[in-house]
Structure 1
Amino acid sequence: MGPSRAEDEAILRRLRIFLSHVGGCNSDLTNEGQLFREATSGRDSQPGSLSIDVLTEIMTGSGRADREKIFRFFEGRPDLQTPVEIGKDAHRELTYKQLIALVRECGVHPMQLLVNDPARYFTVMEAVGFIDISLGIKMGVQFSLWGGSVVNLGTEKHKEIFFDGSNVQGIETTATFDKESDEFVVLTPNEGATKWWIGNAAVHGKFATVFAKLIIPSPSGDSDMGVHAFIVPIRSMADHSVLPGVEIRDCGYKVGLNGVDNGALRFHSVRIPRDNLLNRFGDLSRDGKYTSTLPTINKRFAATLGELVGGRVGLAYGSVGILKASVTIATRYSLLRRQFGPPDQPEISILDYQSQQQKLMPMLASAYAFHFATAYLMDRYSEMKKTHEDAVVADVHALSAGLKAYITSYTAKALSTCRESCGGHGYAAVNRFGSLRNDHDIFQTFEGDNTVLLQQVAADLLKQYRAKFKGAPLAVTWNYLRESMGTYLSQTNPVVTHRDEKMHLRDPRFQLDAFQFRTARLLHTVALRLRKHSKRLGAFGAWNRCLNHLLTLAESHIESVILAKFNEAVKRCQDPDARKLLKLLRDLYALDRIWHDVGTFRNQDYVAPNKAKAIHKQMEILCAEVRQVAGPLVDAFGIPDSLLRAPIGLQSGQYSEYTHYVGFSD
């Protein structure tokens, strides 16, 4: 489907603005029409034409039908749209109503998708996040966390019974087996063991998955079998009252996501049936005999938590959706907003200013880059759920930790930049930067603090580094270290370090080599530093001494993975015009990231001063080139105006919508 007449008119307006300062006011309609054909979709097959639909298909893939179904449903239900100003209690009830309608009226079945087609599930999660991030998180808590815990940690008897509730996690809480009653007694032993920030607990949840130490009493002393997961009812199915022994407190107003009812839980000797133990990795018989296929507490704990990695996958994917929305709003506003210009000539679009381009265009490129990286993560996650192969499991754990940490940190900073780039209008609540920023902020600590997750990535890299020298197989994501470690650690070629021509800098081989060289050098040097410091400081002291180095290593590796997946996406694209645009974005992403860390490349003698200067120049040129197609590129994200909602970010009629909102009648 091509663009609507309104979309055509919006693009024409942008082209007129552009023509007014690059070609003067005498540009005739013929030239304008030619540019219009080159910048709009579908109906012109001349070489160089841009098909928005092709890009949209690339950016939505197999999930496009699900997205459009959800978008159409909510577009037709104004009663389910979240208003700009809404209180906590009303927002919670609206989010609950949205979720019920999504399942019962729209016919979306997240639990089935999570089990049978995880990639479609995460696509749905991104789509509902455009409606309201609180809805996306509430859906994730309900189905991915609660439902996922039952499906992944339980057995058939649990799957047939339980599909309501929320998810909690704790270690100090105990579940002690009472042999006489064939029950577990769940206890919060002290104030410090309170379960905080449990989604759906404050108002709507009826069950919780509680992580607790499984204790088996015996005459010779209690046996601690380690952390297991238990299903604990917290409210009555009949009248929704809080059950005896369960204490629930409301966490109250938050910085964002006030549509999610977070609560705190304590358990005062709450009794649950033995069958409520989620027993995939460990079981207890009626006579109190414990059995497990995993030999140690640590292995059982790792397996239990490992099955919940889908939360990180969802947060990484959802964060990209939020980045797409914010870049769309800021880019469309910057194309439309005109300010100053040459004397006696029309004012120019603020996106024609180099400073504005260098704020927004790298973020636009990054949104595409992150999309392809998280699509790869979803594929690996789906493979993990099907095969349960150890190598794939390990790969997904490290990759999900790294991408979640890197992308959510990037998006958090990008949201502030997008707000600032829109000036005073960006500060208006109706234009959504405030709510997007506040709702997204917790993504940096959801499912693991980002700093901790990056340390997990660094630890895995060091493990793979040691395996490399022992001849052991490396996980798929790290394979480049085996193939190229020797090359990257050898003396850099002085000819290459000085090359600064455009063809070389825009060569994907140079770009990926630069990223992977940096990762290999950082890995090698931190391994040497850890060995040196551990002799005097011990393992923990050495790790802490090298912590910033380790975090930089992890980020470098994740950037290498992101760029590699972007390269693969460019190669897969069959449409020549779309491939040209993707290559343009890929080049900007790569050179922007190199320039961002140019000091490291200079220190490692990989980029000479003249080359660094040329990289910066190319980055400026690329920003200007991307600016010329920025409108169609954000249109390809496929976010309907009715769900984007920000008046300054609409495809057309931005000012009329905004002025009407603030009270002007004409």
Structure 2
Amino acid sequence: MAKLLPAINRGGPLDKYRQLASFDWKKLRDIIDGEDIVKFKEKCWNAMESDPLFKRGHEIVSFDEFRRITALRAKKFKSLDILPLEELVVHPDRLRALSEAIFSYDGSFSVKYQLSYAFVQTTLMGLGTTRHMELYEMLGDPKCKLIGSFSLTEISHGTNTRAMRTTAKFDVNTQNFILHTPDFQAAKCWVGNLGKTATHTVVFAKLILPTGEDCGLHAFIVPIRDPDTLLAYPGVKIGDLGPKVGLNGTDNGFIMFTNYPVHKDNLLNKNGDVTTEGKYVTPIKDPNKRFGASLGALSAGRVGIITICHTYLAKALTTSIRYSAVRRQFGPNDTEEIPVIEYPLQQWRLFRYLASAITLRIFIREFGNFFVQASVESFLGNPKLMQESGSEIHALSCAAKPLAGWLARDGIQESREACGGHGYLKFAGIGDLRDDNDGNVTYEGDNSVLLQQTSNWLLGLWSRKADSSVWDTPLSTVKFLKNWKSLGKTGSNLQRVEDLIQAYEWLIRHLLEKTALLQQDLKNRGFSDFDTKNHIQVYAGRELSIVYAEYNVLRTSWGVVQNIQGADAEKRVLETLLLLFGGFSLEKHLGLLYESGYLKDPKSSDNLRSTIINCCKSLRNEAISLVDAIAPPDFCLNSPLGSSDGQVYSRMESELTQTPNTYGRPDWWRELVSKM
């Protein structure tokens, strides 16, 4: 690891805290990532840093120029062939590592690259068969001109799949599916890469048989532009959505089809196909397994967003925590100023999110690797794991994605504020992170709406709770509910991770029962199924999904940490971080714990909060080395406030003085001094 990772600058303002750390930051990075992933990330970062195309400052470029340079960076990175298919099959965890590496550089470039190639390839892997292998390999070919995109959402229906109106009717005579968009409201929209550049898109449309039978939503890989001219094909109308709040290097667009033919082989047919005679066939006879496999395959975006969120959060915290160790403000007397990281309030503001970032990182390593394994096995002809785990993957990703998105949103904002006025400067980098992350809370499903998917799955299991086998799921996210009758009904000590996990298990059981009773009461009062599902969310189903996500992030990460061998100091600091994450998360639900009768002692809440404060205090001397363990290189961070050498003020001065016309008057000065 010492050879793989670059040396941290010594002798600077951050050196004091690095010497105080109780653990080796390189050893911790090895535990979190593993040597192979560390080496692979360094390979990605070195490839970008050595290429002039990836050099950047903080100048504001035009909207069109930002798109141009972003597209060229994505094209260039693809040409490097960092992760070929044969390597991915052997090392599936490198797909997640690739995402972490490039998103730590820039969100727009990373979205552009991932959507252009990796995301479409993942969809082909999850929903396609061997007949799509050639296209999969073409998308991975460094010399290929094809650019992918993903078309699910419709203008007036969001991700409400049942209401989508784009159709694909099979024509027996031509052996083509005829794609058609009835009107603008049915146009596919928010499609990344579509606005100006995509040559192909994965379209989700209702598969209509020649008899008129609707077989539901299916995916098709559709050529939409000439790769040599980037002009849309006849029958395809493509528009640009224009500027957004963030990620403006990625061109989002909308698309409409007018009786546009695509060959039947363009149907991604793993879970369902149409014969040459126009009959629907499926290899999965059990409709629940077929649905589960489709849900699991479509979870790639949400699983990826969890990775993006913890990467953004880690980047923001690297800047704010390093800055806090350098920035001095006030002190015990008039002549001494102390670093703001010494203040308990600053520790509390930032270290809770530092614990969240590292806990999420461990969780997504496990969850992401499981998902990629299931996807690869399915693509290679063994769909059993995806079929059996698809519904659970869907449920967990629909809860963990909102959790990660909101933690990143709040942690990035806290980092911005914790850096004071300097954090508001564009070159600090935190504002751009905030804007880029903002999309994570709505794309691939609005967070609050997604949570309903999770609560629906949990309630479905609860309705069959008498059958203990329903709790034996591949990811073990609800295994503890096999003993739902005997779960402890009281608790008082919330000062160990084991205590927090036990409290979470009780809370999930309580909320399941509460939500199910509310559901039944509404049905007894004559509410329709639709109204019932809506009315059980507030103060019931929504909270159920959130605590389910928090519990599984904590449980999964705790299991990993407890298996660490031969690294006692690193294990201890990770245990503190997980205790802080669990306490920070569970504190939000203290009212529910008292309401349910789990807590009776008024001092229990004080004890939990004391635990949080003590964890923050114990991390004061560890924080700089902790961010060293998760930080991207300075080249990616690109922030004078967060540079690894801690030279904040000299870097700020350099940045400000290099800005064009820093000391000059504006070009429009005459207009200001002349008479109106």
How does the TM-score come out when normalised to structure 2?
0.87
Partner of 1:65: 39
Once the two structures are TM-superposed, the CA of residue 578 in structure 1 deviates from its matched residue by 0.4
Q: Give the counterpart letter for 2:585 in structure 1.
A: R
Q: Deviations over 1:51-88 (max 9, x none)?
A: 11111112222411210001111122243235432222
| Larger RCO (CA within 8 A; separation ≥ 6) | 2
Once the two structures are TM-superposed, the CA of residue 315 in structure 1 deviates from its matched residue by 0.7
Aligned pair in 2 of structure 1 residues 112, 332: CA closer, same or farther (>3 Å)?
A: same
1:100 aligns with 2:75: yes
**Which of 562, 584, 601 is the aligned partner of 2:593?**
601
**Which of 353, 365, 370 is the aligned partner of 1:363?**
353
SS of 1:160's partner is: helix
Partner of 1:538: 528
**Which of 536, 553, 560 is the aligned partner of 2:551?**
560
Partner of 1:9: 11
Aligned pair in 2 of structure 1 residues 297, 365: CA closer, same or farther (>3 Å)?
A: closer
Structure 1 range deviating more: 405-414 or 564-573: 564-573
Q: Deviations over 1:250-279 (max 9, x none)?
A: 111111111111111011122222322222
Which residues in structure 2 correspond to 1:494-573 (within 5 Å)?
A: 496-497=491-492, 505-536=494-525, 537-548=527-538, 549-573=540-564
1:250, 1:261 within 8 Å by CA — same for their partners in 2? Answer: yes
Partner of 1:590: 582
1:194, 1:265 within 8 Å by CA — same for their partners in 2? Answer: yes
1:358, 1:620 within 8 Å by CA — same for their partners in 2? Answer: yes
Once the two structures are TM-superposed, the CA of residue 185 in structure 1 deviates from its matched residue by 2.0
Aligned pair in 2 of structure 1 residues 508, 539: CA closer, same or farther (>3 Å)?
A: same
Aligned pair in 2 of structure 1 residues 372, 6: CA closer, same or farther (>3 Å)?
A: closer
Q: Name the CA distance, whole Å, in 2 between partners of 1:400 and 1:302.
A: 13
Partner of 2:28: 55
Aligned pair in 2 of structure 1 residues 136, 531: CA closer, same or farther (>3 Å)?
A: same
SS of 1:186's partner is: strand
Which residues in structure 2 correspond to 1:626-665 (within 5 Å)?
A: 626-652=619-645, 653-663=647-657
Q: Please, what is the CA RMSD of the aligned residues?
A: 2.5
Partner of 1:29: none
**Which of 276, 280, 283 is the aligned partner of 2:270?**
280
Partner of 1:620: 613
SS of 1:239's partner is: coil
Q: Give the counterpart letter for 1:407 in structure 2.
A: A
Aligned pair in 2 of structure 1 residues 335, 512: CA closer, same or farther (>3 Å)?
A: same
Partner of 1:125: 99
Q: Name the CA distance, whole Å, in 1 between partners of 2:588 and 2:290.
A: 42
Q: Deviations over 1:266-309 (max 9, x none)?
A: 11122222322222233333343433335699976664454221
**Which of 604, 611, 624 is the aligned partner of 1:611?**
604
Once the two structures are TM-superposed, the CA of residue 212 in structure 1 deviates from its matched residue by 1.5
Partner of 1:168: 151
Q: Name the CA distance, whole Å, in 2 between partners of 1:257 and 1:113.
A: 30
Once the two structures are TM-superposed, the CA of residue 93 in structure 1 deviates from its matched residue by 1.8
1:253 aligns with 2:246: no
Q: Name the CA distance, whole Å, in 1 between partners of 2:655 and 2:497.
A: 47
SS of 2:255's partner is: strand
1:82, 1:94 within 8 Å by CA — same for their partners in 2? Answer: no
SS of 1:7's partner is: coil
Which residues in structure 2 correspond to 1:228-627 (within 5 Å)?
A: 228-294=218-284, 303-385=293-375, 386=377, 388-389=384-385, 390-474=387-471, 475=473, 476-488=475-487, 491-492=489-490, 496-497=491-492, 505-536=494-525, 537-548=527-538, 549-574=540-565, 575-607=567-599, 608-627=601-620
Aligned pair in 2 of structure 1 residues 276, 655: CA closer, same or farther (>3 Å)?
A: same
1:192 aligns with 2:194: no
Q: Name the CA distance, whole Å, in 2 between partners of 1:508 and 1:430.
A: 39
Q: Give the counterpart letter for 1:89 in structure 2.
A: D
SS of 2:9's partner is: helix
Q: Deviations over 1:328-358 (max 9, x none)?
A: 1111111110011112441011121222111
Once the two structures are TM-superposed, the CA of residue 528 in structure 1 deviates from its matched residue by 1.7
2:489, 2:506 within 8 Å by CA — same for their partners in 1? Answer: no
Q: Deviations over 1:577-613 (max 9, x none)?
A: 1011111212212222232322222223333212222
Q: Name the CA distance, whole Å, in 2 between partners of 1:202 and 1:116.
A: 35
Q: Deviations over 1:206-253 (max 9, x none)?
A: 1112112222335xxx23232222222211133222211111111111
Once the two structures are TM-superposed, the CA of residue 111 in structure 1 deviates from its matched residue by 5.5
Q: Deviations over 1:147-194 (max 9, x none)?
A: 223333233222213633222126311222333333222211112111
Partner of 1:87: 62
Q: Give the counterpart letter for 2:515 in structure 1.
A: V
SS of 2:82's partner is: coil
Aligned pair in 2 of structure 1 residues 287, 518: CA closer, same or farther (>3 Å)?
A: closer
Q: Name the CA distance, whole Å, in 2 between partners of 1:486 and 1:305.
A: 31
Q: Name the CA distance, whole Å, in 2 between partners of 1:228 and 1:570.
A: 41
1:226, 1:301 within 8 Å by CA — same for their partners in 2? Answer: no
Q: Name the CA distance, whole Å, in 1 between partners of 2:358 and 2:392.
A: 23
Counting helix residues as a fraction of each chain, which structure ranks higher?
1
Partner of 1:148: 122
Partner of 1:30: none
1:137 aligns with 2:137: no
Once the two structures are TM-superposed, the CA of residue 407 in structure 1 deviates from its matched residue by 0.8
Aligned pair in 2 of structure 1 residues 120, 266: CA closer, same or farther (>3 Å)?
A: same
Partner of 1:45: none
SS of 1:468's partner is: coil
Partner of 1:22: none
Q: Name the CA distance, whole Å, in 2 between partners of 1:113 and 1:136.
A: 20
Q: Name the CA distance, whole Å, in 2 between partners of 1:586 and 1:296.
A: 40
Q: Name the CA distance, whole Å, in 1 between partners of 2:556 and 2:208.
A: 46
Q: Name the CA distance, whole Å, in 2 between partners of 1:268 and 1:319.
A: 38
1:464, 1:478 within 8 Å by CA — same for their partners in 2? Answer: no
Q: Give the counterpart letter for 2:384 in structure 1.
A: H
Partner of 2:142: none
Once the two structures are TM-superposed, the CA of residue 657 in structure 1 deviates from its matched residue by 0.9
Q: Deviations over 1:112-134 (max 9, x none)?
A: 56666432101101110011111
Once the two structures are TM-superposed, the CA of residue 438 in structure 1 deviates from its matched residue by 0.7
Once the two structures are TM-superposed, the CA of residue 639 in structure 1 deviates from its matched residue by 1.1
Q: Give the counterpart letter for 1:66 in structure 2.
A: F
1:380, 1:392 within 8 Å by CA — same for their partners in 2? Answer: no
Q: Deviations over 1:476-498 (max 9, x none)?
A: 4334433542333x542xxx52x
SS of 1:175's partner is: strand
Q: Give the counterpart letter for 2:62 in structure 1.
A: G
Q: Name the CA distance, whole Å, in 1 between partners of 2:6 and 2:83.
A: 32
Aligned pair in 2 of structure 1 residues 518, 113: CA closer, same or farther (>3 Å)?
A: farther
Q: Give the counterpart letter for 1:263 in structure 2.
A: G
1:177, 1:214 within 8 Å by CA — same for their partners in 2? Answer: yes
Structure 2, unpaired ranges of 5+: 140-145, 155-163, 378-382, 663-676
2:78, 2:113 within 8 Å by CA — same for their partners in 1? Answer: no
Matched-pair identity in %: 30
Q: Name the CA distance, whole Å, in 2 between partners of 1:233 and 1:412.
A: 36
Once the two structures are TM-superposed, the CA of residue 464 in structure 1 deviates from its matched residue by 2.2
How does the TM-score come out when normalised to structure 1?
0.88
